[in-house]
Amino acid sequence: METALDQSLGGKRAVSSIQQILLGIPIYVYISVVASKLVILGILWDIAWHMSIGRDGLFSAPHVLIYIGAASAGLFSGFKVLKTSFWGNDREKNKMVNFWGIFYSSLGGLFCIWGGLAAITSAPFDDWWHNTYGLDVEIFSPPHTVLLLGLMSVQVGAMVSVLAFLNRKETFYFLSASQAERRLKRLQWMFVFTAGFLITTMFTALSEFLDRWQLHGVSYYQIASAAFPVLLLATARGSGMKWGATYIAATFMFFFWAVNATLRLLPAEPLLGPVHNRITTYQTLGFPILLIFPAIGLDLLRARLANVNDWFLALPLAFIYLLILVGFSYPFGNFILESPMARSWFWGSSSWSYQNSPDWEFRYKFTEWSSTKGLGNWASGLGIALLLSMLSTRIGLAWGKWMQKVQR
Protein backbone atom coordinates (compact mmCIF):
# COMPACT_ATOMS: atom_id res chain seq x y z
CA MET A 1 0.00 0.00 0.00
CA GLU A 2 1.08 3.57 -0.64
CA THR A 3 2.10 5.23 2.60
CA ALA A 4 1.31 8.80 3.66
CA LEU A 5 5.01 9.59 3.15
CA ASP A 6 4.85 8.24 -0.41
CA GLN A 7 1.76 10.37 -1.10
CA SER A 8 3.47 13.45 0.32
CA LEU A 9 6.59 12.89 -1.77
CA GLY A 10 4.45 12.23 -4.83
CA GLY A 11 2.59 15.51 -4.30
CA LYS A 12 5.86 17.36 -3.87
CA ARG A 13 7.22 15.81 -7.07
CA ALA A 14 4.04 16.83 -8.94
CA VAL A 15 4.25 20.39 -7.67
CA SER A 16 7.93 20.57 -8.53
CA SER A 17 7.21 19.25 -12.03
CA ILE A 18 4.66 22.03 -12.64
CA GLN A 19 7.02 24.60 -11.17
CA GLN A 20 9.79 23.39 -13.45
CA ILE A 21 7.56 23.83 -16.50
CA LEU A 22 6.71 27.35 -15.35
CA LEU A 23 10.34 27.90 -14.27
CA GLY A 24 9.21 29.32 -10.94
CA ILE A 25 7.18 32.10 -12.57
CA PRO A 26 3.61 32.34 -11.16
CA ILE A 27 0.74 31.61 -13.50
CA TYR A 28 -0.79 35.07 -12.97
CA VAL A 29 2.33 36.64 -14.52
CA TYR A 30 1.93 34.51 -17.65
CA ILE A 31 -1.76 35.42 -17.77
CA SER A 32 -0.98 39.14 -17.52
CA VAL A 33 1.47 38.89 -20.45
CA VAL A 34 -1.12 37.07 -22.58
CA ALA A 35 -3.74 39.64 -21.52
CA SER A 36 -1.48 42.52 -22.61
CA LYS A 37 -1.40 40.90 -26.06
CA LEU A 38 -5.12 40.20 -26.24
CA VAL A 39 -6.17 43.76 -25.46
CA ILE A 40 -4.16 45.36 -28.27
CA LEU A 41 -5.14 42.54 -30.63
CA GLY A 42 -8.76 43.38 -29.86
CA ILE A 43 -8.16 47.11 -30.39
CA LEU A 44 -6.60 46.59 -33.83
CA TRP A 45 -9.42 44.24 -34.80
CA ASP A 46 -12.00 46.75 -33.54
CA ILE A 47 -10.50 49.54 -35.67
CA ALA A 48 -10.56 47.27 -38.72
CA TRP A 49 -14.15 46.33 -37.83
CA HIS A 50 -15.16 50.00 -37.85
CA MET A 51 -13.38 50.57 -41.17
CA SER A 52 -14.88 47.49 -42.82
CA ILE A 53 -18.18 46.47 -41.23
CA GLY A 54 -19.38 49.54 -39.38
CA ARG A 55 -22.20 48.02 -37.39
CA ASP A 56 -21.03 47.73 -33.80
CA GLY A 57 -22.37 46.35 -30.55
CA LEU A 58 -21.44 45.80 -26.93
CA PHE A 59 -20.56 42.17 -27.60
CA SER A 60 -19.01 42.37 -31.05
CA ALA A 61 -16.14 39.92 -31.52
CA PRO A 62 -13.32 42.48 -31.05
CA HIS A 63 -14.97 43.87 -27.93
CA VAL A 64 -15.27 40.39 -26.42
CA LEU A 65 -11.57 39.78 -27.04
CA ILE A 66 -10.70 43.06 -25.29
CA TYR A 67 -12.98 42.19 -22.35
CA ILE A 68 -11.41 38.73 -22.01
CA GLY A 69 -7.92 40.20 -21.94
CA ALA A 70 -8.73 42.96 -19.44
CA ALA A 71 -10.89 40.76 -17.21
CA SER A 72 -8.41 37.87 -17.08
CA ALA A 73 -5.58 40.20 -16.03
CA GLY A 74 -7.75 41.76 -13.32
CA LEU A 75 -9.28 38.51 -12.05
CA PHE A 76 -6.07 36.49 -11.83
CA SER A 77 -4.25 39.39 -10.17
CA GLY A 78 -7.20 39.90 -7.81
CA PHE A 79 -7.21 36.21 -6.88
CA LYS A 80 -3.48 36.46 -6.12
CA VAL A 81 -4.17 39.46 -3.86
CA LEU A 82 -6.85 37.58 -1.88
CA LYS A 83 -4.76 34.41 -1.66
CA THR A 84 -1.71 36.26 -0.38
CA SER A 85 -3.65 38.57 1.93
CA PHE A 86 -5.68 35.91 3.75
CA TRP A 87 -3.80 32.65 3.22
CA GLY A 88 -0.23 33.73 2.46
CA ASN A 89 2.71 33.37 4.82
CA ASP A 90 5.00 36.16 5.97
CA ARG A 91 7.60 35.32 3.32
CA GLU A 92 5.03 35.78 0.54
CA LYS A 93 3.67 38.99 2.05
CA ASN A 94 7.14 40.51 2.35
CA LYS A 95 7.45 40.34 -1.45
CA MET A 96 4.22 42.31 -1.91
CA VAL A 97 2.96 45.87 -1.45
CA ASN A 98 0.65 46.33 1.52
CA PHE A 99 -2.32 48.65 0.97
CA TRP A 100 -5.29 49.63 3.13
CA GLY A 101 -3.57 47.74 5.97
CA ILE A 102 -5.23 44.48 4.89
CA PHE A 103 -4.34 43.55 1.33
CA TYR A 104 -1.04 42.44 -0.19
CA SER A 105 -0.42 42.69 -3.91
CA SER A 106 2.41 42.99 -6.37
CA LEU A 107 2.73 46.46 -7.86
CA GLY A 108 2.01 45.02 -11.30
CA GLY A 109 -1.09 43.30 -9.95
CA LEU A 110 -2.48 46.62 -8.73
CA PHE A 111 -2.08 48.09 -12.22
CA CYS A 112 -3.80 45.04 -13.75
CA ILE A 113 -6.72 45.19 -11.31
CA TRP A 114 -7.28 48.91 -11.84
CA GLY A 115 -6.89 48.58 -15.60
CA GLY A 116 -9.26 45.64 -15.80
CA LEU A 117 -11.92 47.50 -13.82
CA ALA A 118 -11.54 50.65 -15.95
CA ALA A 119 -11.73 48.70 -19.22
CA ILE A 120 -14.81 46.71 -18.21
CA THR A 121 -16.49 49.83 -16.81
CA SER A 122 -15.93 51.65 -20.10
CA ALA A 123 -17.87 48.98 -22.03
CA PRO A 124 -21.45 50.07 -21.11
CA PHE A 125 -20.31 53.72 -21.28
CA ASP A 126 -19.10 53.11 -24.87
CA ASP A 127 -22.34 51.33 -25.79
CA TRP A 128 -24.42 54.22 -24.43
CA TRP A 129 -22.21 56.70 -26.31
CA HIS A 130 -22.81 54.86 -29.59
CA ASN A 131 -26.55 54.67 -29.02
CA THR A 132 -26.71 58.38 -28.15
CA TYR A 133 -24.22 59.98 -30.55
CA GLY A 134 -23.72 57.32 -33.24
CA LEU A 135 -20.52 55.60 -34.27
CA ASP A 136 -17.21 57.19 -33.29
CA VAL A 137 -15.28 58.98 -36.00
CA GLU A 138 -12.16 59.39 -33.87
CA ILE A 139 -10.13 57.35 -31.41
CA PHE A 140 -10.21 59.82 -28.49
CA SER A 141 -13.90 59.82 -27.66
CA PRO A 142 -14.55 59.90 -23.87
CA PRO A 143 -15.35 56.15 -23.52
CA HIS A 144 -12.40 55.22 -25.74
CA THR A 145 -10.10 57.38 -23.62
CA VAL A 146 -11.20 55.55 -20.46
CA LEU A 147 -10.76 52.23 -22.26
CA LEU A 148 -7.28 53.10 -23.54
CA LEU A 149 -6.11 54.23 -20.10
CA GLY A 150 -7.42 51.01 -18.60
CA LEU A 151 -5.85 48.78 -21.24
CA MET A 152 -2.50 50.57 -21.05
CA SER A 153 -2.65 50.12 -17.27
CA VAL A 154 -3.08 46.37 -17.82
CA GLN A 155 -0.04 46.38 -20.10
CA VAL A 156 2.07 48.41 -17.66
CA GLY A 157 0.94 45.99 -14.95
CA ALA A 158 2.11 43.04 -17.03
CA MET A 159 5.51 44.71 -17.55
CA VAL A 160 5.94 45.50 -13.85
CA SER A 161 4.82 42.00 -12.83
CA VAL A 162 7.54 40.50 -15.00
CA LEU A 163 10.08 43.06 -13.78
CA ALA A 164 9.58 42.10 -10.13
CA PHE A 165 10.71 38.55 -10.85
CA LEU A 166 13.41 39.67 -13.29
CA ASN A 167 15.03 41.92 -10.69
CA ARG A 168 14.85 39.62 -7.65
CA LYS A 169 17.55 37.20 -8.84
CA GLU A 170 15.92 34.39 -6.86
CA THR A 171 17.27 30.83 -6.73
CA PHE A 172 15.03 27.76 -6.68
CA TYR A 173 16.00 24.34 -5.37
CA PHE A 174 14.02 22.59 -8.11
CA LEU A 175 15.76 24.39 -10.99
CA SER A 176 19.11 23.35 -12.41
CA ALA A 177 21.71 25.91 -13.48
CA SER A 178 20.59 25.62 -17.12
CA GLN A 179 16.94 25.99 -16.12
CA ALA A 180 17.77 29.08 -14.05
CA GLU A 181 19.43 30.57 -17.13
CA ARG A 182 16.36 29.72 -19.21
CA ARG A 183 14.19 31.37 -16.57
CA LEU A 184 16.17 34.60 -16.85
CA LYS A 185 15.92 34.59 -20.65
CA ARG A 186 12.22 33.80 -20.51
CA LEU A 187 11.55 36.70 -18.15
CA GLN A 188 13.56 39.05 -20.35
CA TRP A 189 11.62 38.05 -23.46
CA MET A 190 8.30 38.22 -21.62
CA PHE A 191 9.25 41.77 -20.69
CA VAL A 192 10.27 42.58 -24.28
CA PHE A 193 6.92 41.30 -25.55
CA THR A 194 4.87 43.29 -23.02
CA ALA A 195 6.89 46.43 -23.79
CA GLY A 196 6.31 45.90 -27.51
CA PHE A 197 2.57 45.49 -26.93
CA LEU A 198 2.51 48.73 -24.90
CA ILE A 199 4.24 50.65 -27.71
CA THR A 200 1.75 49.13 -30.16
CA THR A 201 -1.09 50.53 -28.08
CA MET A 202 0.59 53.94 -27.89
CA PHE A 203 1.12 54.05 -31.66
CA THR A 204 -2.45 52.92 -32.32
CA ALA A 205 -3.80 55.63 -30.03
CA LEU A 206 -1.75 58.24 -31.94
CA SER A 207 -2.38 56.77 -35.39
CA GLU A 208 -4.65 59.66 -36.37
CA PHE A 209 -1.61 61.95 -36.09
CA LEU A 210 1.00 59.48 -37.37
CA ASP A 211 -0.55 58.17 -40.58
CA ARG A 212 1.25 58.09 -43.95
CA TRP A 213 -0.10 61.48 -45.05
CA GLN A 214 1.78 63.11 -42.14
CA LEU A 215 5.24 61.75 -43.04
CA HIS A 216 6.20 64.99 -44.82
CA GLY A 217 4.91 67.19 -41.99
CA VAL A 218 7.02 68.31 -39.04
CA SER A 219 4.20 67.58 -36.56
CA TYR A 220 4.72 63.85 -37.26
CA TYR A 221 8.25 64.04 -35.88
CA GLN A 222 7.27 66.24 -32.95
CA ILE A 223 4.62 63.77 -31.80
CA ALA A 224 6.88 60.77 -32.41
CA SER A 225 9.69 62.49 -30.48
CA ALA A 226 7.47 63.10 -27.48
CA ALA A 227 5.82 59.67 -27.40
CA PHE A 228 8.39 56.98 -28.13
CA PRO A 229 11.86 57.72 -26.70
CA VAL A 230 10.44 57.57 -23.18
CA LEU A 231 9.03 54.08 -23.80
CA LEU A 232 11.98 52.75 -25.78
CA LEU A 233 14.65 53.90 -23.33
CA ALA A 234 12.74 53.02 -20.16
CA THR A 235 11.95 49.51 -21.32
CA ALA A 236 15.38 48.96 -22.91
CA ARG A 237 17.05 49.80 -19.61
CA GLY A 238 14.51 47.74 -17.67
CA SER A 239 15.07 44.67 -19.87
CA GLY A 240 18.77 44.48 -18.98
CA MET A 241 19.52 43.48 -22.59
CA LYS A 242 22.20 45.09 -24.75
CA TRP A 243 19.81 45.30 -27.71
CA GLY A 244 16.69 45.89 -25.61
CA ALA A 245 15.32 48.87 -27.58
CA THR A 246 15.91 47.05 -30.87
CA TYR A 247 14.12 43.89 -29.74
CA ILE A 248 11.20 45.90 -28.34
CA ALA A 249 10.84 48.05 -31.47
CA ALA A 250 11.03 44.91 -33.65
CA THR A 251 8.31 43.27 -31.52
CA PHE A 252 6.07 46.31 -31.96
CA MET A 253 6.60 46.58 -35.71
CA PHE A 254 6.16 42.88 -36.43
CA PHE A 255 3.10 42.49 -34.20
CA PHE A 256 1.36 45.58 -35.60
CA TRP A 257 2.11 44.53 -39.19
CA ALA A 258 1.24 40.84 -38.68
CA VAL A 259 -2.17 41.52 -37.09
CA ASN A 260 -3.23 44.00 -39.76
CA ALA A 261 -1.79 41.92 -42.61
CA THR A 262 -3.71 38.88 -41.38
CA LEU A 263 -6.93 40.87 -41.06
CA ARG A 264 -6.54 42.11 -44.65
CA LEU A 265 -6.84 38.49 -45.80
CA LEU A 266 -10.16 37.89 -44.01
CA PRO A 267 -13.57 38.52 -45.63
CA ALA A 268 -15.66 41.49 -44.49
CA GLU A 269 -18.44 43.62 -45.93
CA PRO A 270 -20.14 46.81 -44.74
CA LEU A 271 -23.35 46.40 -42.75
CA LEU A 272 -23.97 50.10 -42.22
CA GLY A 273 -24.44 52.79 -44.84
CA PRO A 274 -23.58 54.88 -46.66
CA VAL A 275 -21.07 52.70 -48.52
CA HIS A 276 -18.79 54.75 -50.77
CA ASN A 277 -16.02 52.18 -51.15
CA ARG A 278 -17.06 48.64 -52.05
CA ILE A 279 -14.87 46.17 -50.15
CA THR A 280 -14.79 42.40 -49.63
CA THR A 281 -12.01 42.06 -47.02
CA TYR A 282 -11.03 43.86 -43.83
CA GLN A 283 -9.53 47.32 -44.24
CA THR A 284 -6.88 48.21 -41.68
CA LEU A 285 -4.46 50.83 -40.46
CA GLY A 286 -1.33 51.27 -42.57
CA PHE A 287 2.31 50.34 -42.09
CA PRO A 288 3.80 51.09 -38.63
CA ILE A 289 6.22 53.87 -37.79
CA LEU A 290 9.84 52.86 -38.51
CA LEU A 291 10.99 52.67 -34.89
CA ILE A 292 13.46 49.84 -35.49
CA PHE A 293 16.07 52.14 -37.04
CA PRO A 294 16.25 54.79 -34.29
CA ALA A 295 16.08 51.94 -31.74
CA ILE A 296 19.27 50.44 -33.19
CA GLY A 297 20.92 53.85 -32.94
CA LEU A 298 19.81 54.23 -29.32
CA ASP A 299 21.21 50.83 -28.36
CA LEU A 300 24.55 51.48 -30.04
CA LEU A 301 24.91 54.88 -28.41
CA ARG A 302 23.81 53.57 -25.00
CA ALA A 303 26.54 50.96 -25.12
CA ARG A 304 29.22 53.46 -26.19
CA LEU A 305 28.21 56.05 -23.56
CA ALA A 306 27.37 53.62 -20.75
CA ASN A 307 29.32 55.60 -18.12
CA VAL A 308 27.95 59.04 -19.03
CA ASN A 309 25.61 60.78 -16.59
CA ASP A 310 21.96 60.59 -17.67
CA TRP A 311 21.61 64.37 -17.87
CA PHE A 312 24.42 64.53 -20.43
CA LEU A 313 23.35 61.28 -22.09
CA ALA A 314 19.88 62.61 -22.91
CA LEU A 315 21.10 65.08 -25.54
CA PRO A 316 23.02 62.69 -27.84
CA LEU A 317 20.33 60.02 -27.49
CA ALA A 318 17.58 62.52 -28.34
CA PHE A 319 19.55 63.83 -31.30
CA ILE A 320 20.38 60.40 -32.76
CA TYR A 321 16.76 59.26 -32.33
CA LEU A 322 15.37 62.27 -34.22
CA LEU A 323 18.09 62.23 -36.89
CA ILE A 324 17.56 58.56 -37.74
CA LEU A 325 13.77 58.79 -37.56
CA VAL A 326 13.63 61.70 -40.00
CA GLY A 327 16.35 60.22 -42.21
CA PHE A 328 14.42 56.99 -42.74
CA SER A 329 10.80 58.11 -42.43
CA TYR A 330 10.72 61.15 -44.75
CA PRO A 331 11.88 59.27 -47.90
CA PHE A 332 9.81 56.25 -46.83
CA GLY A 333 6.78 58.55 -47.07
CA ASN A 334 7.33 58.92 -50.83
CA PHE A 335 7.18 55.15 -51.20
CA ILE A 336 4.42 54.19 -48.78
CA LEU A 337 1.95 56.85 -49.95
CA GLU A 338 2.76 57.49 -53.61
CA SER A 339 4.31 54.32 -55.03
CA PRO A 340 1.96 51.80 -56.73
CA MET A 341 4.22 49.08 -55.26
CA ALA A 342 3.02 50.01 -51.76
CA ARG A 343 -0.62 49.32 -52.72
CA SER A 344 -0.23 45.64 -51.94
CA TRP A 345 -1.27 43.26 -49.21
CA PHE A 346 2.16 43.50 -47.55
CA TRP A 347 2.38 47.29 -47.26
CA GLY A 348 -1.34 47.90 -46.86
CA SER A 349 -1.48 51.35 -48.46
CA SER A 350 -4.56 50.50 -50.48
CA SER A 351 -6.64 49.81 -47.34
CA TRP A 352 -9.48 52.29 -47.35
CA SER A 353 -12.58 52.53 -45.17
CA TYR A 354 -15.91 51.71 -46.80
CA GLN A 355 -17.07 55.20 -45.74
CA ASN A 356 -14.40 56.97 -47.84
CA SER A 357 -14.63 57.76 -51.53
CA PRO A 358 -12.13 55.64 -53.50
CA ASP A 359 -11.61 58.58 -55.87
CA TRP A 360 -10.43 61.10 -53.27
CA GLU A 361 -7.72 63.17 -54.96
CA PHE A 362 -5.30 62.85 -52.05
CA ARG A 363 -5.66 59.13 -51.50
CA TYR A 364 -2.20 58.48 -52.91
CA LYS A 365 -0.47 61.84 -52.56
CA PHE A 366 0.44 64.32 -49.85
CA THR A 367 -1.99 67.06 -48.99
CA GLU A 368 -1.11 70.72 -48.71
CA TRP A 369 -2.31 70.93 -45.11
CA SER A 370 -0.30 67.93 -43.85
CA SER A 371 3.04 68.75 -45.53
CA THR A 372 5.49 71.29 -44.10
CA LYS A 373 6.99 73.68 -46.64
CA GLY A 374 10.08 75.86 -46.36
CA LEU A 375 13.48 75.32 -44.75
CA GLY A 376 12.70 77.79 -41.96
CA ASN A 377 9.55 75.95 -40.95
CA TRP A 378 11.42 72.66 -40.92
CA ALA A 379 14.29 74.09 -38.88
CA SER A 380 12.04 75.59 -36.20
CA GLY A 381 9.75 72.55 -36.19
CA LEU A 382 12.59 70.07 -35.81
CA GLY A 383 14.08 72.27 -33.08
CA ILE A 384 10.86 71.79 -31.12
CA ALA A 385 10.97 68.06 -31.94
CA LEU A 386 14.52 67.86 -30.53
CA LEU A 387 13.46 69.54 -27.29
CA LEU A 388 10.54 67.11 -26.99
CA SER A 389 12.87 64.21 -27.73
CA MET A 390 15.30 65.38 -25.02
CA LEU A 391 12.50 65.64 -22.46
CA SER A 392 11.10 62.25 -23.45
CA THR A 393 14.57 60.70 -23.40
CA ARG A 394 15.41 62.06 -19.95
CA ILE A 395 12.13 60.82 -18.49
CA GLY A 396 12.69 57.46 -20.15
CA LEU A 397 16.17 57.09 -18.64
CA ALA A 398 14.83 57.95 -15.18
CA TRP A 399 11.88 55.58 -15.56
CA GLY A 400 14.27 52.86 -16.71
CA LYS A 401 16.37 53.28 -13.56
CA TRP A 402 13.21 52.90 -11.50
CA MET A 403 12.36 49.75 -13.45
CA GLN A 404 15.71 48.24 -12.54
CA LYS A 405 14.78 48.54 -8.85
CA VAL A 406 11.26 47.06 -8.95
CA GLN A 407 11.07 43.89 -6.87
CA ARG A 408 7.48 43.85 -5.63
Q: Looking at the predicted structure, is the pLDDT value of residue 1 above 60?
A: no
Examine the fold and report which residue of 205, 223, 251 is the final residue of a domain before the chain moves on: 205
Examine the fold and report which residue of 158, 184, 205 is the final residue of a domain before the chain moves on: 205
The predicted-structure confidence for 360-397, as pLDDT tens digits, reads as follows: 989 899 988 889 898 999 999 999 999 999 999 999 99
CA distances from 330 to 229, 257, 334 (A): 18, 20, 7
Position 7 confidence tier, pLDDT thresholds 50, 70, 90: very low
186 and 223 share one domain: no
Is 17 inside a domain boundary? no
| Most confident listed range (82-96, 128-142, 340-354) | 340-354
Is 16 inside a domain boundary? no
CB neighbour burial string for 37-59, b if at least 16 within 10 angstroms, e if fewer: bbbbbbbbbbbbbbbbbbebeee
Position 218 confidence tier, pLDDT thresholds 50, 70, 90: very high
Q: What is the DSSP string of 218-258?
A: HHHHHHHHHHHHHHHHHHHHHHT-TTHHHHHHHHHHHHHHH
Q: Looking at the predicted structure, is the pLDDT value of residue 137 above 60?
A: no
The phi and psi torsions of 257 (rounded to 5 degrees) equal -65, -45
382 Cα distance to chain centroid: 26
Is 342 inside a domain boundary? yes
155 Cα distance to chain centroid: 7
**Number of independent structural domains in the chain:** 2
The phi and psi torsions of 267 (rounded to 5 degrees) equal -70, 145
343 and 231 share one domain: yes
The phi and psi torsions of 284 (rounded to 5 degrees) equal -135, 175
Averaged pLDDT for residues 172-184: 75
Is 8 inside a domain boundary? no
- Please answer whether residues 219 and 367 qualify as being in contact, where contact means their C-beta atoms are separated by less than 8 angstroms: no
Examine the fold and report which residue of 153, 183, 205 is the final residue of a domain before the chain moves on: 205
- Please answer whether residues 188 and 166 qualify as being in contact, where contact means their C-beta atoms are separated by less than 8 angstroms: yes
- Please answer whether residues 84 and 104 qualify as being in contact, where contact means their C-beta atoms are separated by less than 8 angstroms: yes
Distance between CA 203 and CA 164 in Å, rounded?
26
The answer to whether the Cα torsion of 228, 231, 234, 235 is positive or negative is negative
240 and 354 share one domain: yes
179 and 270 share one domain: no
The one-letter code for the residue type at 302 is R
Position 10 confidence tier, pLDDT thresholds 50, 70, 90: very low
Among 250, 316, 238, 314, smallest CA distance to 288 is for 250
Distance between CA 223 and CA 366 in Å, rounded?
19
144 and 227 share one domain: no
Distance between CA 393 and CA 408 in Å, rounded?
25
258 and 326 share one domain: yes
What residue numbers bound the domain in which 336 lies? Answer: 208-408
183 and 226 share one domain: no
Q: Which stretch of DSSP H or E encloses residue 314?
A: helix 310-333
Query: For 342, which DSSP code?
Result: G
The predicted-structure confidence for 15-36, as pLDDT tens digits, reads as follows: 456 666 677 788 888 988 999 9
